[in-house]
């Protein structure tokens, strides 16, 4: 079984409460705390949709086995591989192949792999725009109930922006 754990989040949100208030045209401070929660929620939704980190994170990736020693580390962009353990023993005999792929020299009897890595995060104007649109949608629709249906997906305008950041698998 594969599992991924966030050890720590590094840095602060790429949009601020003031950015959101300007975008949504809010003049009061009454909803500042709520907007802060929505900013975090918007980022988490976008990261989940992209399978990439907007804020830098240190993560641990657990595998019960690595087929032929080739591991595709999820969530990028990868800044560094901090540690690799095979059967709870730290190893240094691995090769980074770029784009989150590493090759680990393994014995056929090896069972468990633990990779600790750090992502760089991403930040640019288009990502900020997508997050502002998600926050605006969350603010305008403070419940999941919309016109008799349950809304569980990102709105289409945010998806259009975020699609350019998705990893393409061939």
Residue count (the chain): 170
Lowest mean pLDDT segment, chosen from 102-106, 107-111, 122-126, 150-154: 150-154
Q: What is the pLDDT of residue 55?
A: 96
User: Rounded CA gap, 13 and 20, in Å?
Assistant: 12
Q: Give the bridge partners for 81, in sequence order.
A: 117
Judge whether residue 8 has pLDDT over 90.
yes
Q: What is the rounded average pLDDT for all residues in the chain?
A: 85
């Amino acid at each position: 079984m594969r599992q991924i754990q966030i050890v720590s989040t590094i840095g602060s949100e790429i949009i601020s409460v003031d950015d959101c208030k300007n975008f949504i045209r809010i003049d009061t401070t009454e909803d500042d705390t709520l907007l802060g929660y929505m900013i975090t929620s918007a980022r988490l939704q976008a990261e989940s949709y992209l399978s990439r980190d907007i804020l830098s994170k240190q993560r641990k990736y657990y595998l019960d086995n690595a087929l032929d020693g080739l591991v595709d580390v999820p969530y990028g962009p990868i800044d560094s591989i901090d540690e690799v353990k095979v059967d709870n023993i730290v190893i240094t005999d691995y090769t980074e192949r770029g784009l989150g792929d590493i090759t680990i020299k393994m014995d056929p009897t090896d069972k468990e792999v633990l990779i600790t890595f750090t992502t760089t995060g991403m930040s640019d104007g288009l990502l900020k725009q997508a997050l502002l649109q998600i926050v605006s949608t969350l603010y305008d629709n403070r419940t999941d109930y919309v016109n008799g249906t349950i809304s569980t997906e990102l709105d289409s305008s945010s998806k259009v922006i975020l699609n350019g950041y998705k990893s393409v698998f061939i």
